[in-house]
Structure 1
Amino acid sequence: MYVKKALVTSILLAAAPLSQQVLAQSTNVSSMPVSNMPASPVVAESSDCSRGFFSRLISAYREDAQPADPNAPTPPRRAMDAPFDSAPFPNSEWQLGGVDTPIGVPDTNNNYPLEKALGCTKLGQWMQRNRIETYGWINPSFNLSTSNFTNYPVSYATTPNKLELDQFLFRIERLPDTVQTDHIDWGFHFDNLYGYDYHYTTMKGVFSNQLLNNPTANEPLQGKVNGDDPMIWYVDLYIPWVAQGMQITAGRYLSLPDIEAQFSPENYLVTHSILYTVDAYTNVGIITTTKLNNNWTLQLGVHGGDDSAPWNSTSRPSLQACVRWVSNSNNDMLYPCIESYNGDKQTYNNLQEFVTTWGHRFTKNIHMLTEAYYIYVKDQPGAPEGVPGYALGDAPPFPIGINPAYGIVNYFNVELNASNMISFRNEFYDDAQGQRTGFATRYSSHTLGLTHWVTSDLEIRPEIRYDRAYDFPAYNNGKKYSQTIALIDAILHY
């Protein structure tokens, strides 16, 4: 949603914690971690239909805490081997936005507890026959910060020193079988997100009144603390005879580039880079993903603009074009992408965005990902001096023409063992005119985090982060040049 910039103006104005305002953005769509983590035994109490639903659900969690079967069969795939282990990494494939899994990669989602408990019901059995899956997660977090008003532009943990319900996500999907090449297949995907993080994911025109049109007596620009966002809804058509397979996706999907994603389990760390915080999150449109061969994948699409539904006057038809290359050794990946381009003037969040990600695998246990982008809006209406809220920043009047921002972020990720990984993130961001964050300054951020899988259904992620602004005290609502935060979250899959 556009809370990003245009909204940043109002965000800075609000006396309410900036944490309650929003910015938006996103990226690669991968499925939840597949696992070399504990899995259920073949004969399990969760499949005993003489037991009640909740008894089977509890049994499923208990079974998932047992050691994995080392002799479990591996699903066939029509792609290179997975470059990483998931768990402990959030996903096992090289980044590719707009699809649940790259073409030729099997559906390796765990059979999560809810699906196991439903297995004895007519509904659950019908879903199994039709390859329809349903699962989700609950994700609370807590942070301690040197700021006391707001952690912004850190996201999503914008409110300092507070426990939040970040995400309660429900998912139902059918993944097309892209391993086979003998028939057309179809799929669909629906995600509903409830919690604080809707501040960042909201698209204008899709339940956005909760955030944009929900004033209170004391905080006129504050939306609901926890809101609902039907975040993802699209259909897929897989055609195996175009090159080595083409998938056509139509609906609302995550913006294509970015190492990071909106969904908690798909991230290496709890918080997000500034680079991610202020770029595009979701699009409504049509995107084609074509596997040319094991090395090359091409994506072409058109959407209604970033974070704005096509039925809004703020929407602008925009082009997307990306190509992903993977080396024969599977040790390198390059993913240049035009996420959004229409050449039109700024409206709600009419970003023109050009992104490149490079990934390098040192070993199966160690890899890094580096993303850089150039984004801009054109002819930003108004000037900070005349817009309430910008008085808190150091943004000069916006000139007519290009209003740019630049960023680069690096992730260095290490698998310690099958249950633990650590990630180091370092970032530099230049919001040249303050159009993206509300403060015309350069930023750096440095983050260290651990992901610990207690079982295949529960992960815990402690993190520590240091941020600095160089040209203006952008932290704690324009009062500090730097900020340190310690955080922890938990993700319970169901």
Structure 2
Amino acid sequence: MLFKKMLPSALLMTMLPIGQSIAATATSVSTPDPQSVIATPATAHVASNDCSAGFLSRLAAAYREDAQPADPNAPAPKRRGMDSPFSSPPFPSAEWQLGGVDFPIGVPNENSQYPLEKALACTVVGRWMQDNRIEMYGWINPSMNLSSSSFTNYPLSYATRPNRVEFDQALFRIQRVPDTVQTDHIDWGFHFDDLYGYDYHYTTMKGVTSDQLLNHPAPNQPLNGKIYGNDPMIAYVDLYIPWVAQGMVITAGRYLSLPDIEAQFSPNNYLLTHSILYTVDAYTNMGVITTTRLNEQWTLQLGVHGGDDSAIWDKTSRLSAQACVRWVSKSNNDMLYPCVESYNHSSQTYNNLQEFVLTWGHRFSPNVHMLTEAYRIYVRNQSLATDPSQSHAPVGEPGYPLGQAPDFRLGNNPAYGIVNYLNIELNPTNMVSIRNEFYNDQQGQRTGFATRYSSHTIGMTHWVTPDLEIRPEFRYERAYDFPAYDGGKKNYQVTALLDAILHY
């Protein structure tokens, strides 16, 4: 138990100085002493492709090499369509938003070759992976926060436990990205992610390792379930058919819900914490979806899935329709992404959402862009929920003492939200993001409190090296109709946070 408590602190404290050490090493490598240009074997640096060295030596060399300045004259990979609208880094992605696929059709694989893959390149496994375009990488992500709340930060996510260091997520990924730039042959791919950490509380799907969350009551913790858990949260296969319109990808399995600006994975976000809007909507779906590029401006997505956050074999699953379309202007300065994330005619089970989303992106310049997302979501007949983990009454409602509100009314139980991100590139290794949000949980079905919220967040991402990110953040939020913070004790919350993401 003591080891588990100390591990996140040790990881975070180790990551903070590691960048300076790597940078210092890189500087000494790039500017050698003229008197020691011919290094002796004892002082020579091992290269990541030196197959005579051991695995750990090659891994250390890969981190050291990544800290070197990138070649500004390196040729850009071939792509089909418009240029990338942004730079990544410092932004988490170089492309306009499109859910359900690793990259928009016509965009090459933009994943970096991280140190693990470089260190494996000399092995039989590594050579086989290269020959078959299979990638293996991941990251480790601890955080720390200071909060005006003492028991819970919720609905702030994922840093729900206040005033502590947390081990948010360790993610392992293995994937093959289909080549959608070419148009002369069918290609295939797959994607598997396994997540361990505190963040499993939010990502877990009913029927997929969900016992560790749903069957472990924790009355002294902000959230039920084991404190740290595991979620094999992404598992799908892709088939790319180039001859349908300008290319179609068929995806089957468990995939991320399509429309959000934010994502479950730490490196894919502009900020450390999530908006309330994101905290309480859908996380993953299990089903089949097609993504079809009609032309370089229009992409259509159609699919069916088993309901939000329910496995298709679980009794809470309900067959649901999904439809989205993405439009990008010819100037590449605007993007619209309306989406029916899920729709069916069934009453509430586990998280049987009906969700309608619109995202608008605008690029002011290559260094400044804005993203705005608005949605209306609801469940039907919350008081008739069939899943025993579901509440039939809100925790707090205006006019009633805490915990004494009546049952939800039958019919639609709605919530509305809008969030805006303003993202600014300061230089190639630093960006600032400002997020403002308004959320109305009309009956308290989503957060547990029937109240309106606002949240205001500013944060920075600093890339120490291409393998290490540091993200400080400050956030203020308020509940207007009921004291929804710290478990129903306060109407506002102030938090300061810091995390680190070490890619491997």
Tell me if TM exceeds 0.5.
Answer: yes
Cα deviation 1:427-473 (Å, max 9, x = unaligned): 00000000000000000000000000000000000000000000000
Structure 1 residue aligned with 2:228: 226
CA contact (8 A) 1:166 1:195 kept: yes
Q: Which residue of 2 aligns with 1:97?
A: 99
1:453 corresponds in structure 2 to 463
Q: For residue 282 of structure 2, give the secondary structure of its aligned residue in structure 1.
A: coil
Contact conserved, 2:291 with 2:299, CA < 8 A, in 1?
Answer: yes
Match of 1:326 in 2: 328
Aligned length: 455
Q: Residue 133 of structure 2 aligns to a residue in which SS? A: coil
Residue 440 of structure 2 is aligned to residue 430 of structure 1? yes
Matched, 1:492 2:497: no
Deviation at 1:214? 2.1
Q: How does 1:259-270 map to 2 (within 5 A)?
A: 259-270=261-272
**Distance (whole Å) between structure 2 residues aligned to residue 376 and residue 97 of structure 1:** 21
Inter-partner Cα distance in structure 2 for 1:91 and 1:220: 32
Q: 1:184 to 1:394 in 2, by over 3 A?
A: farther
Query: After TM superposition, what 4+ stretches of structure 1 lie above 3 angstroms from structure 2?
Result: 215-221, 382-397
Change (3 A) 1:90 1:218: closer
* 1:467 counterpart (477, 493, 496): 477
The reply to whether residue 417 of structure 1 matches residue 427 of structure 2 is: yes
CA distance, structure 1, for counterparts of residue 392 and residue 181 of structure 2: 56
In 2, the alpha carbon distance for the partners of 1:44 and 1:360 equals 45
Which residue is 1:238 aligned to?
240
- Aligned 1:275-294 pairs, distance under 5 A: 275-294=277-296
The higher radius of gyration belongs to: 2
Deviations along 1:3-30, one digit per CA (max 9) or x if unpaired, are xxxxxxxxxxxxxxxxxxxxxxxxxxxx
Q: Deviations over 1:391-432 (max 9, x none)?
A: 635855321111000000000000000000000000000000
How far residue 223 of structure 1 moved from its aligned partner, in angstroms, is 1.0
Deviations 1:333-371 (A, max 9, x none): 000000000021111100000000000000000000000
Q: Does 1:402 align with 2:412?
A: yes
Choose the corresponding residue for 1:274, options 273, 276, 280.
276
* TM-score, normalization by structure 2: 0.88
- Residue 304 of structure 1 corresponds to 306
Residues 34-73 of structure 1 aligned to structure 2 (within 5 Å): 45-73=47-75
Using the TM superposition, give the Cα deviation of residue 222 of structure 1 relative to its aligned residue in structure 2, in angstroms. Answer: 2.8
Give the 3-state SS of the residue equivalent to 2:487 in structure 1: helix
Amino acid at match of 2:233: M
Give the whole-Å Cα distance in 2 for the aligned partners of 1:382 and 1:458: 47
Instruction: Describe the SS at the equivalent of 1:115.
Output: helix
Assess, with a 3 A threshold, how the Cα gap between structure 1 residues 252 and 193 changes in structure 2: closer, same or farther.
same
Task: Encode CA deviations 1:318-341: one digit per residue, 9 max, x unaligned.
Answer: 000000000000000000000000
Deviation sequence 1:140-190 (CA, Å, 0-9, x none): 000000000100010001000011110100000000000000000000000
Say if 2:394 and 2:444, in contact at 8 Å, map to a contact too.
no
Deviation at 1:73, TM superposition (A): 1.5
Backbone CA RMSD of aligned residues: 2.0
8 Å contact 1:168–1:195 — kept in the other structure? yes
One-letter code of the match for 1:467? Answer: E
1:79, CA displacement in angstroms? 1.7
- Cα contact 2:46–2:58 (8 A) shared by 1: no
**Which stretches in structure 2 are left out of the alignment for 5+ residues?**
1-25, 31-44
Q: Structure 1 length as normaliser, TM-score?
A: 0.89
> Does structure 1 retain, via aligned residues, the 8 Å contact 2:374–2:419?
yes
Q: Are the equivalent residues in 2 in contact too, given 1:394–1:439 (CA < 8 A)?
A: no
1:50-449 aligned within 5 A: 50-215=52-217, 222-381=224-383, 387=393, 389=395, 392=402, 396-449=406-459
Measured in 2, the distance between the counterparts of 1:401 and 1:137 equals: 43
Q: Give 1:219 shift.
A: 6.7
Greater RCO between the two (CA within 8 Å, min separation 6)? 1
Q: What is the alpha-carbon distance in structure 2 between the residues aligned to residue 217 and residue 452 of structure 1?
A: 37
Tell me how far apart the structure 2 counterparts of residues 163 and 170 of structure 1 sit (CA, whole Å): 22
